[in-house]
Structure 1
Amino acid sequence: MGNLRVHSRALVIGSGLAGGVAALCLADRGVPVTVLCASEDPENANSWLAQGGIIHRSGLPGDAESLIADILEAGRHHNNPGAVRHLAVHGPDALEAILHHRLGVPFDSAADGSAGGEARWDLAREGGHSSARIAHVADHTGKSIMECLSEALAAHPLVTLMPGYTAVDLLTSHHHTRGMTWRYELENRCCGAYVYEEATGTIKTHLADVVLLATGGVGQIYLHTANAASAVGSGIAMASRAGVRMENLEYVQFHPTTLYHIEPRRLLITEALRGEGALLLNAKGRRIMESVDPRLELAPRDVVSRAIMDELLATGEPCAFLDARATGVDLEERFPLIFRSCMDRGLDIRVQPIPVVPAAHYFCGGILTDLRGRTTLERLYAIGECACTGIHGANRLASTSLLEAVLWAVEAARDVSARIERGELSEDRAVHEAIGNWEHSGTERNDDPALIAQDWATIRNAMWNYVGIRRTTARLNRAFDELRDLSRTLNAFYKSTPLSKPLIDLFHGCQTACLITEAALRNKTSLGCHYREDPAPTP
């Protein structure tokens, strides 16, 4: 079994863009860092799946102010203004420093090769943006970024990658120390995590001087999603149990266009297609957005998603259609990933419209953080999609997520390394020694895959039908009752059954679904992607 107790200077939980950039920046600053990777497959992360691109500068006068206005408009002014300004002003510099200079990501160049300056890359426009400012690598931007990042992490002597390890629970001085000494302290602090090693089936006590949560999104708790299999909300569940403050959990964004097909994860059809002029049509070939919003196909995602669902409910049709023939671009060259993926399924997007449906896509809420990634639990940082910086407010603007992940990873790494230099995050051996190893009395081998599959079906159907694109009090109450009953059952099941990766994911997913549903019930105001059909009356 090896050593059941491990210590790291800095522990990063999650190996997507945010976790990877934070680890690289910490290591570049001389801090040894360990990265837990829940999957052996490095592509099992939402960062790899990002197609459209990442916000840069448009090169136009006043672009930062214009970007701020676009983000606030998309987020229904429910955003954190300070965080939005921080992203607009400092985000492009972080992109340049990390992705361009440090990693050498091959962003597409302007067609004429003469753009120069800040606009030297080919810049696309997406929904909700007032100008073209999206840097991209064809339609596989996330994959290209992550390939460069993974190579840099693997080569760095101060980075230890641990694939096949899943965090079970965060360790804190209030909850996991033996004896009363630290429980009487006013300040609770994070001390590491209990970690499941898939190869041996053992739980290790992974102590750390500082922990950075970068566990990604929650899409897999919904029936239809474009998210990776790892997106079950594990960081949300663990942080909640540790008493960390959450914010905006009810704001789950649905992407308007994913390929209508029968597969476990839906293929995302990037918004950049609509940015190039693709049209949304109903089954009769009529444009869906003409009577909905003056911005047409480039309206914010929540508006487009509801418009498509309204059309499908009114007509009984199973899907809408995205006509890329109207773009006037070489689809095979500009969107090679989508082109090949559709061709593999017998669909030639040069001559046929793409059947599309909305799907759960991005989590706008999460673990509340400040501009440095700090949470309300001392020595715990959160970055990436599991965090709530306030950037997105009630609805995310397209292509802000990758930039947020990079910038907050850089800020968190800078803050952690500075605090280490000041001696604020030195190893607390007394506290660490007072934390016991994992104790589990469960001996029943009843983690039947059929039972786990049925429980997932309950969660996903409840979230899709009742806590989805359109919500009502009756639907939310139904979801709350069903998920509460399932949570009680799972708690007993969890205690009596030896842990496994499927069981840990199920437990985290159910807890996250409960938290989102409770937040949606509390918020009676319809705003952005939390759309209540029976909103509270305006005072």
Structure 2
Amino acid sequence: MELIETEVLVIGSGIGGGITALSLADDGIPVTVVTRSSDGEESNTAWAQGGIIYKGPGDSPELLVEDVLRAGAGHSYLEAARILAEEGPKKVEEWLLERLQVPFDREPSGELSLALEGGHSLPRILHAADATGLAIHRTLKAALEAHPHVTVLKGHTAIDLLTPAHHSLDRLDIYRPPSCVGAYLFDRTKRIIKRCIARHTVLATGGLGQVFLTSTNPPGARGDGVAMAYRAGARVINMEFVQFHPTTFHLTGAPPFLISEAVRGEGARLVDASGQPFMQRYDPQWKDLAPRDVVARSIYHHMLLHDLPHVYLDLRSYIPKEKILSHFPNIHAECLRYGIDIAQDLVPVVPGAHYSCGGVWADGWGRTTLQGLYAVGEVACTGLHGANRLASTSLLEGLVWGDRVARHIRGHLEERPPFDPERIPPWQDSGHSDPDPALIQQDMSVIKHIMWNYVGLVRTTPRLERALRELRHLETEIEGFYRNNRLSDGVIGLRNAVRTAILIAMAAWENKRSMGCHYRE
């Protein structure tokens, strides 16, 4: 069994993990970055269309804090909002504009182009057409792969975090403060399990949208990080707050994908089949630019009220054709693959699971409740998003906290002596046969349907109780399946998905008050 020893292990290669790794590597600190993607292209960052907050004319940190708190439905942590507002624009300049030179859109004058998005009081969003996350991800990926102090392990799935309390051969380690010393990693190409021992471990595994039937997230967003942290004993909070993006492309035979908020920012309207806008009935003030939870629930109620399988987005009546083609080329190309021309046709949409506002509790420096373990990006919960995330704060949160985690590790690197690898046993594989992919697929499908129907946009006590009953039974089955079969990425993901689903359903059941994107009928 292969042993890897590293100063810092980063699990995940999106903006949060990537900036942490690059910042440390620039200082000569050896970092190992693990991604389950075989080409390093798949991450929540790469799939982010909208944009990243910068600063608009007449903008101020106070104004941004106000917008964050308003969107967060009174549940955001003020200190986290202040950190984001005060450090965010500086870090965008330092990292994205200067160090990585991300090709953001510019006006003919050469000035950066700033967009307005729902919930923001002025235009302050930087974008690279409708693929901002991809532009950031590619420049970051290239910088990491070229760096002499970074080792990128592609096609590796983290199985579990290594904690002396759970794994150490010295049984007395159970009495010491809970800590993390690395992870077991599954190399999918060689089909072997590696021990990775690290002084500091950073969880940057992204989201969990794939535990729901319709999602805007990449296939790997199964809640891996949250489930691993929970099993390791880290504190997990606010899991009921799963934001549903109002507009996910919905067509039989086509995969669901995100239709960016920026489309409504440019003037597109939500309409019924006859082309009539309806958002003014649900939110007369903000209409189509109301906070996401309001728009998503309005669509849900409208579909229920009129027995519709979906509603439509109308770009053609409100945005000039050349603007549609220049601002949204990727959305245009993707919809065209399935016979919908967004410059001429109404676009069928439904809400889809988009962003987890909860996650592994992390403080202002990204520290979790386990010594030596940090969490950054969507897997973390800093309290910034409260009960509902403001548009385009996610990439900025990943950037700001990625930078802060690196600064904290730099200042405390030598405080944790290297852990003796001999105290962590090699992985014991108890499986005797290869897992049946049909069984994995079926169980994933059951989880997705339970979560969509019972723990989705609108929740009730009986639905949540049934969800918990069925998910707990399923988890018992899946744990047996996990132990009796050889490891695969699918089995690891299935085990994490069911645990994550239970964490969401439990939190939703416990919180009897509707707030933000958690809505109890």
TM superposition score normalised by structure 2 = 0.98
Unmatched 5+ stretches in structure 1: 114-119, 534-539
Task: Report the Cα distance in structure 2 between the residues aligned to 1:428 and 1:223, rounded to whole angstroms.
Answer: 41
2:502 partner amino acid = C
Residue 320 in structure 1 maps to residue 311 in structure 2? yes
Task: Report the Cα distance in structure 1 between the residues aligned to 2:114 and 2:375, rounded to whole angstroms.
Answer: 30
Write out aligned runs for 1:167-182 (5 A). 167-182=158-173
2:326 matched residue in structure 1? 333
Task: Report the Cα distance in structure 2 between the residues aligned to 1:165 and 1:262, rounded to whole angstroms.
Answer: 33
1:117 matched residue in structure 2? none
Q: Could you report, residue by residue, the CA deviation over 1:34-72 in whole angstroms, capped at 9, with x for unpaired residues?
A: 0011110322211111111000011215x2211111111
Task: Report the Cα distance in structure 1 between the residues aligned to 2:464 and 2:485, rounded to whole angstroms.
Answer: 30
Task: Report the Cα distance in structure 2 between the residues aligned to 1:64 and 1:359, rounded to whole angstroms.
Answer: 31
Contact 1:283 1:317 in 2 (8 A): no
1:195 matched residue in structure 2? 185
1:99 matched residue in structure 2? 96
Task: Report the Cα distance in structure 2 between the residues aligned to 1:277 and 1:184, rounded to whole angstroms.
Answer: 59
Correspondence for 1:144 among 135, 152, 163: 135
Write out aligned runs for 1:129-528 (5 A). 129-185=120-176, 187-262=177-252, 265-293=255-283, 294-325=285-316, 326-328=318-320, 330-420=323-413, 423-429=414-420, 432-445=421-434, 447-528=435-516
Q: Could you report, residue by residue, the CA deviation over 1:92-151 in whole angstroms, capped at 9, with x for unpaired residues?
A: 1111111110000011112443xxxxxx31100111111100000111101111111111
Task: Report the Cα distance in structure 1 between the residues aligned to 2:137 and 2:253, rounded to whole angstroms.
Answer: 24
Residue 35 in structure 1 maps to residue 27 in structure 2? no
1:20 matched residue in structure 2? 18
Q: Does the C-alpha gap of structure 1 residues 212 and 265 become closer, same or farther in structure 2, counting only changes over 3 Å?
A: farther
Contact 2:180 2:372 in 1 (8 A): yes
1:188 partner amino acid = P
2:305 partner amino acid = A
Q: Could you report, residue by residue, the CA deviation over 1:236-270 in whole angstroms, capped at 9, with x for unpaired residues?
A: 00000011001100100000001112457412110
Q: Could you report, residue by residue, the CA deviation over 1:460-502 in whole angstroms, capped at 9, with x for unpaired residues?
A: 0000000000000011011101100000111111111111111
Contact 1:109 1:122 in 2 (8 A): yes
Task: Report the Cα distance in structure 1 between the residues aligned to 2:136 and 2:490, rounded to whole angstroms.
Answer: 29
2:34 partner amino acid = L
Q: Does the C-alpha gap of structure 1 residues 275 and 237 become closer, same or farther in structure 2, counting only changes over 3 Å?
A: same
Secondary structure of the structure 1 residue equivalent to 2:148: coil
Secondary structure of the structure 1 residue equivalent to 2:515: coil
Task: Report the Cα distance in structure 2 between the residues aligned to 1:311 and 1:55, rounded to whole angstroms.
Answer: 31
Q: Could you report, residue by residue, the CA deviation over 1:383-411 in whole angstroms, capped at 9, with x for unpaired residues?
A: 01000011100000000000000000000
Please list every run of at least 4 consecutive aligned residues from structure 1 whose deviation after the TM superposition is greater than 6 angstroms: none
Task: Report the Cα distance in structure 1 between the residues aligned to 2:344 and 2:425, rounded to whole angstroms.
Answer: 63
1:373 partner amino acid = G
TM superposition score normalised by structure 1 = 0.94
Correspondence for 1:81 among 78, 82, 96: 78
Task: Report the Cα distance in structure 2 between the residues aligned to 1:511 and 1:202, rounded to whole angstroms.
Answer: 24
Note the C-alpha offset of 1:379.
0.1
Contact 1:225 1:265 in 2 (8 A): no
Secondary structure of the structure 1 residue equivalent to 2:429: coil
Task: Report the Cα distance in structure 2 between the residues aligned to 1:280 and 1:78, rounded to whole angstroms.
Answer: 28
Q: Does the C-alpha gap of structure 1 residues 391 and 339 become closer, same or farther in structure 2, counting only changes over 3 Å?
A: same
* Aligned alpha-carbon RMSD (Å): 1.2
Residue 108 in structure 1 maps to residue 105 in structure 2? yes
Contact 2:275 2:314 in 1 (8 A): no
Note the C-alpha offset of 1:160.
0.2
Contact 1:226 1:265 in 2 (8 A): no
Task: Report the Cα distance in structure 2 between the residues aligned to 1:156 and 1:112, rounded to whole angstroms.
Answer: 34
2:104 partner amino acid = F
Task: Report the Cα distance in structure 1 between the residues aligned to 2:501 and 2:257, rounded to whole angstroms.
Answer: 23
Structure 1 stretch displaced more, 400-409 or 200-209 = 200-209
Q: Does the C-alpha gap of structure 1 residues 37 and 264 become closer, same or farther in structure 2, counting only changes over 3 Å?
A: farther
1:48 partner amino acid = A
1:311 partner amino acid = H
Contact 2:84 2:400 in 1 (8 A): yes
Q: Could you report, residue by residue, the CA deviation over 1:293-316 in whole angstroms, capped at 9, with x for unpaired residues?
A: 110110000000011111111111
Write out aligned runs for 1:39-58 (5 A). 39-58=37-56
Q: Quote the sequence identity (%).
A: 47
Q: Does the C-alpha gap of structure 1 residues 403 and 295 become closer, same or farther in structure 2, counting only changes over 3 Å?
A: same
Task: Report the Cα distance in structure 2 between the residues aligned to 1:111 and 1:372, rounded to whole angstroms.
Answer: 39
Q: Could you report, residue by residue, the CA deviation over 1:414-456 in whole angstroms, capped at 9, with x for unpaired residues?
A: 1101111xx2133133xx32111111222144x1111111101
1:31 partner amino acid = I
Task: Report the Cα distance in structure 2 between the residues aligned to 1:288 and 1:479, rounded to whole angstroms.
Answer: 32
Unmatched 5+ stretches in structure 2: none
Residue 65 in structure 1 maps to residue 55 in structure 2? no
Contact 1:45 1:229 in 2 (8 A): no
Task: Report the Cα distance in structure 2 between the residues aligned to 1:135 and 1:303, rounded to whole angstroms.
Answer: 24
Contact 1:227 1:265 in 2 (8 A): no
2:155 partner amino acid = G
2:17 partner amino acid = G
Task: Report the Cα distance in structure 2 between the residues aligned to 1:522 and 1:478, rounded to whole angstroms.
Answer: 14
Task: Report the Cα distance in structure 2 between the residues aligned to 1:264 and 1:452, rounded to whole angstroms.
Answer: 22
Residue 9 in structure 1 maps to residue 1 in structure 2? no
Contact 1:13 1:36 in 2 (8 A): yes
1:536 matched residue in structure 2? none
